[in-house]
Amino acid sequence: MPRFTLPALAAALSLLVLTAALPGAAAQAKEFEVDQVSRSFKPGKLAVKIGDTVMFKNKDTVAHNVFSASAGNEFDLHIQRPGSSSFWKAVKAGTVVVRCAIHPAMKLEVQIAR
């Protein structure tokens, strides 16, 4: 039978307690879907948390190029053909404005909370 010293057990217990106490330690990241249809984002506004993933699904009959230039959350999903999907992970709290490089009228606002 393995022998554990009291300091080793105390250290392991402390690590377990600290890990459980971290904000979001028990929270699971979620996945959200944003559809591209009729040259618009559906929904037009979205609230997520850091670590959540957004799937952009092109349900339109035309290609799209989803991107954001919002500081700390910049991304470019490149050309998405009809029927394809791309993913983006929220990394920094704040407001992210998502656009389509092909259709400038398309706009999505994503609020990212901690």
Q: Do 112 and 100 touch, CB atoms closer than 8 A?
A: no
DSSP run (H or E) holding 96: strand 94-100
Classify residue 57: in a domain, yes or no. yes
**Amino acid, res. 8:** A
- CATH number, domain with residue 32: 2.60.40.420
Classify residue 94: in a domain, yes or no. yes
- Supply the pTM of this predicted model: 0.75
Q: How far is CA 49 from the centre of its chain?
A: 7
Classify residue 33: in a domain, yes or no. yes
Q: How many structural domains is the chain composed of?
A: 1
pLDDT at 23: 53
What DSSP string describes 45-85?
A: EEEEETT-EEEEEE-SSS-EEEEE--TT--EEEEEE-TT-E
- Domain residues for 73? 28-113
Q: How far is CA 2 from the centre of its chain?
A: 43
Is pLDDT at 21 greater than 50 in this prediction? no
Classify residue 20: in a domain, yes or no. no
In this predicted model, what pLDDT tens digit does every residue of 39-48 receive, in sequence order? Answer: 999 999 999 9
pLDDT band of residue 3 (cuts 50, 70, 90) is: low
pLDDT band of residue 78 (cuts 50, 70, 90) is: very high
Classify residue 95: in a domain, yes or no. yes
pLDDT at 82: 98
Classify residue 87: in a domain, yes or no. yes
